[in-house]
Amino acid sequence: MTALLEIRGLRGGYGQVEVLRGVDLTVQAGETVALLGSNGAGKSTLNNVVCGIYPAWGGTVQFDGRDLSRAHYREVVKAGLIQVPEGRKVFPNLTVLENLELGSFTRARERRAANLDKVFAIFPRLKER
C-alpha cells in the first residue's frame, strides 16, 4: 500500500542551524500519528517544512501520490495537506463562520454546508456565534 504521507531524509533549519537532520516519517491513510518531543526538538519546524512554509534543504515529501518536496505552500494546501492551528490561532478579524469556511476554501466547497452541520453538531457554541 502506498502511504498517504511519506517523508524521507528531510533536512531543514534556519541560517547556519540544521534542525531537521534526515527525518523519515510515514503516515498511512486513516492513521493518526502523534509527534512527541521536548520543547525545541523541531516538531514545528518539521510541520512547517513539510507544508512548504520553510524550504526543505534536502530529502523528499510525497503526499497522496504527489511530490511536494519543493512545492510552494499554496500547492501543498491545494493538494489537501493542511495545518490546523493550535490554541487561539484563528483569524481575529474574521467572523466565526468565515474562519470555518476557510477550511473549505480550495477543495471542499461543495461539501461546505454538510461539513458545517457536522461541526455545529459537535460544537453547538460555534453555531450560536
Residues contributing to the site for Mg ion (CB under 5 A)? 43-44
Q: Quick one: which segment of 34-42, 79-87, 100-108, 116-124 binds ligand ADP (CB under 6 A)?
A: 34-42
Each residue 2-21 as x (binds ligand ADP by CB under 6 A) or -, in order, gives ------------x----x--
Give, in order, the Cα–Cα distances in Å from 45 to each of 14, 39, 102, 107, 113.
Answer: 9, 12, 23, 25, 34
DSSP state of 119: H
CB-based contacts of 98, cutoff 8 Å, min separation 6: 91
Which partner from the list Mg ion, ligand ADP, none does 69 bind, CB cut-off 5 to 8 Å by kind? none
Residue number, 13 or 103, with CB nearest to ligand ADP: 13
Binding residues with ligand ADP: total (CB under 6 A): 10
Q: For the chain, what percentages of helix, strand and coil (3-state, to nearest 5) are there?
A: 35, 20, 45
- Amino acid identity of 56? A
Nearest CA among 63, 65, 57 for reference residue 76: 63
Each residue 38-77 as x (binds ligand ADP by CB under 6 A) or -, in order, gives -xxxxxxx--------------------------------
Binding stretches for ligand ADP (CB under 6 A) = 14, 19, 37, 39-45
